[in-house]
Amino acid sequence: MTGLSFGFRCGLVVQREVGRILGIIWIIPMAWLMEFFMKYRIKNVKDLRRRYRKLLSETRAPILICSNHLTMADSAVIAWALGGSWWYLFRYSRLPWNIPEYNNFSFLKFVGLGAWITKCIPVVRGGSREGVSRVIKKIDYLLRKGDTALIFAEAGRSRTGKVQIDNHAQAVGRILTTVPECQALCVYMRGDQQDTWSTVPKRGDSIYLDFEIFKPQSTFSGMRQSRDVAQQVVAHIADMESRYFAGRK
Amino acid sequence: MSREDVFQKVMEIIKPFVKNEDVFQQANESTNILQDLKVNSARLVDIILNFEDEFDVEVEDEDADSVNTVGDAVSLIMEKLAA
């Protein structure tokens, strides 16, 4: 796919390099904010990071992180849980790009600037199809260049608190079917105190996170293939959720 | 098939997904499917796949990027039928 203009490609390179240069002043503080101010604890964090680094060392394929979605801080928590903070300073391409809802921060210009520095590509959900398509093309381009991206497999935070299989994000299927060799890294994350959706996880929460590589197969073509793949990904994350709750009993 | 016939069928397909019935009653080709009819963006995919079944055409993801209004949908289908 790609089909991204030279101007947009240059814009992404500039965005990435400015973020990289400023990494020391935002990656570490964000990690400290989650660890020392919000007092989040990731369960089995050492094992999680060891597994994640091993996985990355074993594959050169593009990786699209596909996660469930319960809070607005999910992408930051997942990135921190998988890679820590210092590690990303030396492997900046592995710090995932993410796709926040533009309307969540558009009212404050400096927040928009912050989002730009922190590898965000805002999208207006329900906005013009051309705008949404451009965001997908940017992620497509970045994955082909060896960057990692994170996208929520559900179209919005789950209002039921459980993975909503019938509310899949079509973009997941579209990216996975167009980027050659792209792998879906399915992530399931949930704080012990996270009963339903919220703005951020509760302060002091102990957070469970697990990931699995998933390779969807589809016999369809066109949009049906994208939908099939997106549905398979969200169903796999729902399966991870079932195993999580079975393990808690 | 005339443009008017396609428009009528498109409206029939969209109807079950519409959340704003009042606007739907007054809808024309310039009506925005997501913003005016309040169709969920995830459901827009279902609508376009229903177009595929109804008109026996195949729509790629990139074709669907041009569908914002009812008229865009009609134009896309007319284009596919003519191909």
CATH of the domain at B27: 1.10.1200.10
Q: Given an 8 Å threshold on Cβ–Cβ distance, is B49 in contact with A224?
A: yes
Count of structural domains, chain A? 1
Q: Does the ipTM exceed 0.90? A: no
- When scoring B34, B36, B39, B62 by the number of chain A Cβ atoms within 10 A, the one with the most, hence best to mutate, is B62
Is A109 domain-assigned?
yes
- The whole-number pLDDT of residue A124 equals 87
Find the domain containing B64 and state its range: 3-82
Number of domains comprising chain B: 1
pLDDT given for residue A1 in this prediction: 59
Helical H segments across A45-159, by residue range:
45-58, 74-83, 86-90, 109-117, 129-144
User: A224 vs chain B: nearest CA distance in angstroms?
Assistant: 7
Find the closest chain B residue to A224 by CA distance: B49
Residue A155: per-residue pLDDT: 85
* Chain B closest-CA separation from residue A131 CA (Å): 9
Average pLDDT along chain A, 249 residues, taken 10 residues at a time: 85 97 96 97 97 94 96 96 96 95 79 92 86 94 96 91 91 94 97 93 96 94 92 97 90
Query: CB neighbours (10 Å) of residue A68?
Result: 24
In a domain? residue A152: yes
Does A113 fall in a domain?
A: yes
Domain residue limits at A160:
6-248
Q: Is residue A1 part of a domain?
A: no
Write the pLDDT tens digit of every residue in B14-73.
999 999 889 999 999 999 999 999 998 888 999 999 999 999 999 988 899 889 999 999
Residues 143-162, chain A: which have Cβ within 8 Å of B?
155
Min Cα separation A152/chain B (Å) = 13
Q: Which amino acid is at A37?
A: F
Give the DSSP per-residue string, B39-72.
Answer: --HHHHHHHHHHHHHHHT----HHHHTT--BHHH
Residues in chain B: 83
Separation of alpha carbons A33 and A79, rounded Å: 14
CATH number of the domain bearing residue A70: 3.40.1130
In a domain, A32, yes or no: yes
CA B60/CA A17 separation, integer angstroms:
34
CB pairs < 8 Å spanning A and B: 52
Cα B79 to its chain centre, rounded Å, is: 13
Q: Give contacts of B49 with chain A, Cβ < 8 Å.
A: 223-224, 227
